Copies of this chain bind each other. A is one copy, B any other.
Amino acid sequence: MSPAFDPGRLAGRIAAGEPLALARGISHVENESDGFEALLERLDGRTGRARRIGITGPPGAGKSTLTAALTRHYLNQSLKVGIVAVDPTSPFTGGALLGDRIRMGELSTEPGVFIRSMASRGSLGGLATATREAADLMDAAGYDRVILETLGVGQAELDIAVSADTTAVVLVPESGDGVQAMKAGLMEVADLFVINKSDRPGADRLEKEIAIIMSIRFANRPPGDADGDADEVWRMPIMQTVASEARGIEEFAEHLDRHFDWLRSTEKLETHRQTARLRRAHDALLRRSRRDAQRIWRRASRETLDSGASPYATARRLYEEFRKTLGGT
């Protein structure tokens, strides 16, 4: 079967920074269209330049507003920004109130900004994988910063957050969100904490709560790494913002830069990027086997499926077919 598109040509157009080509490329990856892997492979050598920033947190924390404010900050520095939104409650993906969506709409018409929302349901099986690859394409297209906005709940979503170079966890002062959120696995993914909507009561209290929890965490760590180098330890900033008024955004961007510099200086960046490449290969291998299994499933006869056998016997029988098909080609 001939591919649905010409991967070489599309790769060239993406590398040249054509937004329409980038949009098409991401769709091909998301849909796993014939040739999508050839596209990714051709652009592989062009990735690794962008800094990837994960912004995650509970619903209503203002992740999108923070993303928008950070994007404006980068635009003022003449940096190009790609945004991948996988948060079902995000205005980028259509989950917000009208006012929010209009504000985001303004951003989407800015030159130098590319916004893409990924479907969090109905994906072919690899939301986190496809999201990372969408970020790869933005990287290859020359975007200097790629922001991954994801909801901080759910397995696939947290997987996305941790794939960024730097992950910011966004919380709000209300209702003991801090402790609750920590328990939901957000603490493990955070490189820095942002208390957004900090003009509301409770921001200082929450900051103290987080600091206490962090100090308990640090207490269990050695003061330096194995070589006794204190620079090896990242002291996690906890900061306050009012993203809707762009308050604290400059400081936020500074902390992100500081973290990136720290990653680079400790060679953690290189390790991180190498791990990411291995992860890509791992995911691509699993995707290949899944696609083959799905092909067999689609071809399965009604008789096999309706045989009355247990689901596990049916799967075993289909898998035998799968093996035979593979062996015979």
Contacts and interface: CB of A to CB of B under 8 A. Distances in A.
Given A88-B184, A153-B154, A180-B89, A281 B305 contact: yes
Contact of A185 (B88, B127, B279): B88
Give the number of times this chain occurs in the complex, counting copies: 2
Nearest to A286: B293
B59 A314 contact: no
Contacts of A41: 310, 312-313
B88 A312 contact: no
A311 B133 CA distance: 11
Given A153-B151, A180-B59, A297 B282 contact: yes
A290 interface: yes
A33 to B, nearest CB: 15
26 contacts: A41-B313, A44-B312, A58-B59, A59-B59, A59-B153, A60-B180, A88-B153, A88-B184, A89-B180, A89-B183, A89-B184, A96-B180, A96-B183, A120-B154, A121-B185, A153-B153, A279-B311, A280-B312, A281-B305, A284-B311, A285-B314, A287-B315, A289-B293, A289-B322, A323-B327, A323-B329
Given A277-B311, A282-B315, 20 more contacts: A41-B313, A44-B311, A44-B312, A45-B310, A59-B153, A88-B183, A89-B183, A95-B180, A121-B158, A127-B155, A151-B154, A153-B153, A153-B154, A154-B155, A279-B311, A284-B315, A285-B318, A286-B297, A288-B293, A323-B326
